[in-house]
């Protein structure tokens, strides 16, 4: 099964905040870069896909949960315009906060479950996005979501 790259999803969010540029991610064991692109990774079955992007857009550190909640509210409004229902959650990252968004993305008659983390990286926006086909039950799905929720930073 071939999953879409979450480029369009990330591009939508980045239009709110700036333009994108690739960055390196070191994902879980067994994942490999897609077509040699070190910012896009898939698991060995091809059922899950992760992408990391940095932007040139300034993105302040979210130093408190209220700051993260304020950003999350704005992000929810913007993503909901094109993605439908969006679940947003501030996540603590040992001294700073990030925002995790989850939503469905439809492309070519298929629906994909997307998890997307918004982080401050030296004053710039960085996103880590994971996607899998709706109904996918492979081991990669939970591993990818846990990586994005708890470990990506």
Q: Say which DSSP state 56 is in.
A: E
CA neighbor of 131 nearest in space, from 21, 8, 32:
8
> Can you give the residue ranges of every domain in the chain?
7-151
pLDDT in tens, 36-76: 888 899 999 999 999 999 888 999 899 999 999 999 999 99
Give the DSSP H/E element, type plus range, for residue 52: strand 48-58
pLDDT of residue 36: 87
Q: Is residue 23 pLDDT above 90, yes or no?
A: no
For domain 7-151, say whether CATH 3.40.1000.10 is its number.
yes
* Strand 32-34 relative to strand 97-107, pairing: unpaired
Q: Is residue 134 a contact partner of residue 113, using CB atoms and an 8 Å limit?
A: yes
Is it the case that residue 124 has pLDDT exceeding 80? yes
**8 Å CB contact between 27 and 21:** no
Check whether 19 has a pLDDT greater than 70.
no
Q: Provide φ and ψ at 72, rounded to 5°.
A: -60, -40
Q: Is the pLDDT of residue 133 over 70?
A: yes
103 close to 83: Cβ distance less than 8 angstroms: yes
113 has a pLDDT exceeding 90: yes
Q: What is the mean pLDDT of the chain?
A: 84
pLDDT of residue 21: 42
Confidence of residue 24 (pLDDT cuts 50, 70, 90): low
> Does the pLDDT value for residue 16 go beyond 80?
no
pLDDT tops 70 at residue 5: no
Q: Is the pLDDT of residue 8 over 90?
A: no
Q: How far apart are CA 18 and CA 54, in angstroms?
A: 10
What percentage of the chain has pLDDT greater than the value 70?
A: 82
Using DSSP, state whether 73 is helix, strand or coil.
helix
């Amino acid at each position: 099964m071939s999953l879409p790259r979450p480029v369009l999803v990330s591009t939508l969010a980045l239009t709110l905040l700036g333009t994108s540029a690739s960055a390196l991610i070191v994902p879980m064991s067994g994942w490999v870069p897609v077509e040699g692109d070190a910012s896009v990774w898939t698991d060995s079955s091809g059922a899950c896909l992760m992408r990391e992007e940095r932007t040139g857009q300034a993105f302040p550190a979210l130093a408190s949960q209220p700051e993260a909640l304020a950003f999350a509210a704005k992000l929810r409004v913007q993503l909901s315009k094109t993605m439908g229902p969006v679940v947003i959650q501030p996540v603590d990252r040992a001294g700073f906060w990030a925002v995790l968004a989850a939503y469905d993305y439809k492309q070519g008659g298929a629906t994909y479950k997307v998890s997307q983390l918004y982080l401050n990286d030296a004053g710039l926006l960085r996103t880590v996005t994971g996607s899998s086909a709706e109904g996918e039950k492979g081991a990669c799905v939970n591993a990818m979501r846990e990586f994005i929720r708890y470990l990506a930073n």
